[in-house]
Amino acid sequence: MRPSFFHHLHPPTIPARQARLRYTLAAGGLAVFLVLILGITGILEIFYYIPTPTEAGNSIQTLTFLVPFGGLVRNLHFWSAQFLVIVSIVHPLRVILTGAYAPPRQFNYLLGMGLLVLAILLDFSGYVLRWDEGIRWALVTGTNLLKSIPLIGNALYTILVGGTQPGLATLIRFYGWHIFGMTLAAGILVAWHIFRLRRDGGIAVPPPPLREDQTRITRFELLRREILAMLLASTALLLLSTFAPAPLAAPITASAPASETARAPWFFLWVQQMLKLGNPFFWGVVVPLAVLVLFSLIPYIFPKPVKPELGRWFPKSNRIAQGVALFILLSIITLTLLALLPAS
Amino acid sequence: MSNRTLSRRDFLKLASAAILTASGLLGLEGLFRFLNTQTEPLPPTEFDLGLASNYPPGSRTLLPDIPALLLHAQSGYSAISLVCTHLGCSVESKPEGFACPCHGSRFDPQGNVTRGPANKPLRSLRVEVTSDNELRLYTT
Ligand code: FES
């Protein structure tokens, strides 16, 4: 058989543990699958979406209600994007809690962090493309946050917004970043991440002499499991897309009345909650960046996982990293829940 | 290699690294200036509000396009900007003052902060009565 990209990712046999659901949670594979759905549905949306403030809302309505399967395409894109952000958090969490970033995989861990950031930025820019009342204040506060950065803040604002306030130039810039700039970067990183995964010996398990469990599965068994996972994921996405449509509010108009509460998209609620504490630069820029840097440094600054312990949950050797990650995650979840409480 | 003179190979290596770095930086500078340009017209800073008599004494008029609140008190016309001084959301005008929907800042009817995270009062905007008795509001 001629080796192909498929065979590159599916060696004739692999250690059984590398494909055990309760070890991997299938998170990486699901992410790839979601990226594929996002790519296909995204391309389809390009044919109807019009990136101008006056037309954006109407064109989304046309896509959703007039075009056959248009609503399905949009809802699939929406739900896949939300799941991609969730999976992009669960995946590194699994990696930290199993110590799977142990050398030589630190660099691939960093590539993965880059992908997490891109998943969030892509989700945010896609959300802004709705250009409806629902996104208005998240866009205003998010971009004004840039201005709070000393020295370069105002330049960053103009680069992102293309003017002194959100408008046509802003929508075009977000559109460009969303469908091309960030998508291209994400595509390159995904390919690189998968390449490194294979180069580093696949999913982290102890080296052969230290393995308690020597069983291996064939590429056909692996493929069977992958197809099963894809079928389950597709079913979930289709059900959600049929019964829970993606949100869309009235288009932005200057004269719309101020609303009672304005919420950030769910993955930024924790930042919105921190902003209530005061200084925008500190709580809105420094702290989120510090969280990102701390997560990225986990393979480098904490005690490293040891090889014999790989392939299972909560190894003893990297307990500190596990504790730090869980603590930050719980803080973020708590902040998110606080932000969801009704305003006092 | 032990003497001080640079070998031909090292010199070429160093020179190409320097040239590559310099062109990279120049390119970045170009990209920065390319993106850091704003082509949209600046938003208006002057608003004609029509006849002053449309705003009787004691009235409070919401001007959502600006956004601002126009007041006609005994001392004359005045206006308060409704742009929250924290991160720029539009505040809601309430009987007890102003409330921001984004991070919960509160302001009293004069626009002073009564609760954070905002730490500056809402801006007061200049209102003028023109010679033909019309109101003009300035946001700068
Ligand atoms: S923008 Fe008003 S409180 Fe933050």
- Residue ranges of the domains in chain B? 1-37, 46-138
Respond yes or no on whether the N-terminal peptide bond of residue A104 is cis (omega within 30° of 0).
yes
The mean per-residue pLDDT over the stretch A5-31 comes to 83
Rounded to a whole number, what is the distance in Å from the CA of A258 to chain B's nearest CA?
Answer: 5
pLDDT in tens, A39-69: 999 999 999 999 999 999 999 999 999 999 9
Contact A219, A226 (CB under 8 A): no
Tell me which residue of A15, A14, A10, A9 sits closest to A210, measured CA to CA: A15
A138: nearest CA partner in chain B: B102
Distance separating alpha carbons of residues A321 and A25, to the nearest angstrom = 20
Q: H-helix or E-strand containing B10?
A: helix B8-35
What pLDDT shows up at residue A10? 84
pLDDT of residue A87: 95
- CA A117 vs CA A99, A138, A150, A271, A329: distances in Å: 21, 18, 22, 15, 16
Provide the pLDDT for residue A311.
81
Q: What is the ipTM of this complex?
A: 0.85
- Amino acid, res. B110: Q
Q: What percent of chain A has pLDDT over 90?
A: 62
Residue B116 contacts A, CB cutoff 8 Å? yes
Q: Please check whether residue B29 touches A, CB under 8 A.
A: no
Q: Does domain B46-138 have CATH number 3.30.70.100?
A: no
Q: What is the CATH number of the domain that holds A316?
A: 1.20.810.10
Q: Does B69 touch chain A (CB under 8 A)?
A: no
How long, in residues, is chain B? 140
Q: How far is CA A84 from CA A114, A121, A128, A151, B50, in A?
A: 14, 12, 17, 34, 52
Task: Render A230-297 in DSSP notation, one character per residue.
Answer: HHHHHHHHHHHHHHSPPP--PBP-TTPPPPS-----GGGHHHHHHHTTS-HIIIIIIHHHHHHHHHHH
Cα–ligand 1 centroid distance for A33 (angstroms):
39
Total of domains in chain A: 1
Q: Tell me how close the Cα of B104 comes to any Cα of chain A, in angstroms.
A: 7
Q: How far is the CA of B83 from the centre of ligand 1 (A)?
A: 9
What is the Å distance from ligand 1's center to B63 Cα? 19
The chain B residue lying nearest A253, using CA atoms, is B65
**pLDDT > 80? residue B4:** no
The C-alpha of B14 sits at a distance from chain A's nearest C-alpha, in angstroms, of: 28
| Chain A touched by B32 (CB under 8 Å) | yes
DSSP string, A102-115: -TT-HHHHHHHHHH
CB contact set of B69 (below 8 Å; sequence gap of 6+): B60, B61, B62, B63, B79, B80, B82, B93
* B97 interaction partners in chain A (CB closer than 8 Å): none
Tell whether pTM > 0.80: yes
Helix (H) or strand (E) holding A94: helix A70-97
Four-point Cα dihedral A162, A163, A168, A174, nearest 10: 30
Average pLDDT, rounded, for chain A: 90
Q: Is B120 in the pocket of ligand 1 (CB under 6 A)?
A: no
Per the structure, the complete domain to which residue A10 belongs is given by 5-340
Whether B100 lines ligand 1, by a CB cut-off of 6 Å, is: yes
Check residue B3 and give its pLDDT: 63
Backbone angles phi, psi at B134, to 5 degrees: -105, 160
Provide the 3-class DSSP secondary structure of residue A224: helix
List % helix, strand, coil for chain B (3-state, nearest 5).
20, 35, 45
Read off the pLDDT of residues B40-96 as tens digits, 9 standing for 90 and up.
888 888 888 888 888 888 888 888 888 888 888 888 888 999 999 999 999 988 888
The answer for residues whose C-beta is within 8 angstroms of residue A193's C-beta and 6 or more apart is A108, A111, A112, A115
State whether residue A28 is helix, strand or coil: helix
